[in-house]
Amino acid sequence: MKKYLLTLLLILNYNIAQASSSKVEDETKATYALHPKQLKWEFDGIFGRFDKASIQRGYQIYKEVCSSCHGLKLMAYRNLGDIGFKESEIKQIASEYLVSDGPNDEGEMFERSGLPSDKFVGPYANEQMARSANGGAYPPDLSLIIKARHDGANYVYSLLTGYQDAPDGFELANGKNYNPYFEGRQISMPSPIVDDLQIEYKDGTYATKEQLAIDIVNFLQFVAEPETEHRKKMGVRTMIFLAILLVLLIITKRIIWKKVK
């Protein structure tokens, strides 16, 4: 048993030593993704809540920047009501888009302006069109992006703020951009956040690059898990109820078991 453990330790040691030495060697050529920067989010933790003002700003960024390439097909315009948009505002937003519908009584497909019940209209009709417009790359739908990546919120934030010049010696393919938080470090998407004040926020918030990234993450978290706040509130109440019930049951159990000699 001891021998077995010792051998294991030896193998472990050897390999860690090997791995770390090889890491140092070609740092400039490394293609593994960096661990995302760790931020504290309003929606994190047991008492996590949505920052609705930030989510609304995030929606503005999505509309003005992201939506030119990325879809959000699981969201309906009516869902904007959950983050504080009024019904009239939602109708207005939806009506800005053209939705294909039909067939009508004549059997023809037609286009009409969007309704609150419509899903977000995406930038491309299909994957082929998206690829041809983006040099072969396919901008993913962002509806679930926070859930579809490890440590999703921090990952998206790190990716958006992580663009930098490729280190000397790093071979960057044509049309790619260097981002150490992306697996392979070569990403087709150019940095979508280029400057402070790139967006003029409707609520007057000063839009630094970091602020932009935080707001878009808050928005995408809402899109990925619209139930977050409801779920956590329900969770706290349920846990308190169960904890009290557990104490009462333990007391009851002790009383009943006293009879067992």
Partner 1 sequence: MSENSNNQHKKHPTPEEEIEAFHKIQNDIDQSITEKSKILAWVNTRLPIISGLENTLRKHPYPKNLSYWWNFGSLAGICLVIQILSGLFLAMHYVPNTKLAFESVEHIMRDVNYGWLIRYIHAVGASMFFIALYAHIIRGLYYGSYKAPREVLWWIGIIIFLLTMATAFMGYVLPWGQMSFWGATVITNLFSAIPVVGESIVQWLWGGYSVDNPTLNRFFILHFLLPFLIVGVVLLHLGALHNTGSNNPSGVAMKSKKDSIPFHPYFTIKDMVGFVAFFLIFGYFLFFYPNALGHPDNYIPANPLVTPAHIVPEWYFLPFYAILRAIPDKLGGVLMMFGAITLLFFLPYLDRSKIRSGAYRPMFQKFFYLFIFNFIFLGWLGKSPAEGWYVIASRFATLYYYGYFLIILPLLPKFEKTLPLPESIDEHYKQSHSKN
**Residue 52 or residue 119: which is nearer to partner 1 going by CB?**
119
46 binds partner 1 (CB under 8 A): yes
Say whether residue 227 binds partner 1 (CB under 8 A).
yes
Residue 149 CB, shortest distance to partner 1, in Å, is 6
Residues of this chain, 135-174, that bind partner 1 according to CB under 8 A = 143-144, 147-150, 152
Q: Which of 48, 67, 53 is nearest to 225 (CA)?
A: 48
249 binds partner 1 (CB under 8 A): yes
Among 11, 17, 129, 194, which residue interacts with partner 1 (rule: CB under 8 A)?
11
Distance from C-alpha of 111 to C-alpha of 11, rounded to nearest angstrom: 66
Q: Does 22 bind partner 1 (CB under 8 A)?
A: no
CB closer to partner 1, 24 vs 168: 24
CA distance 186 to 26: 16
CA angle 19–21–6, rounded 5-degree value: 55
Paired sense of beta strands 110-113 and 98-101, if any: antiparallel
| Cis before 192 (ω within 30) | no
- Tokens 């010696």 correspond to 169
> What x-and-dash track marks residues 183-202 binding partner 1 by CB under 8 A?
x-------------------
Contact between 17 and partner 1 by CB under 8 A: the answer reads no
Which of 17, 34, 45, 104 is close enough to bind partner 1 by CB under 8 A?
45
39-75 b/e with 16+ CB inside 10 Å = b?
Answer: eebbbeeeebebbbebbbbbbbbbbebbbebbbbeeb
Task: Using the rule CB under 8 A, give the single segment among 60-68, 89-97, 200-208, 247-255 that binds partner 1.
Answer: 247-255
Relative orientation angle of helices 152-161 and 209-224, to the nearest 10 degrees? 150
Residue 236 φ/ψ, nearest 5 degrees: -60, -45
- Reading phi first (left if > 0) and then psi (alpha if -120 to 50, else beta), residue 150 is in beta
Residue whose CB is less far from partner 1, 197 or 246: 246
Tell whether residue 34 is a contact of partner 1 (CB under 8 A). Answer: no
Closest CB to partner 1 among residues 137, 144: 144
C-alpha closest to that of 172 among 29, 44, 26: 29
Site residues for partner 1, 73-132, by CB under 8 A, read 74, 79
Contact residues for partner 1 (CB under 8 A)?
1, 4, 7-8, 11-12, 14-15, 45-46, 74, 79, 143-144, 147-150, 152, 183, 224, 226-227, 231-232, 234-236, 238-239, 242-243, 245-246, 249-250, 252-253, 256-257, 260
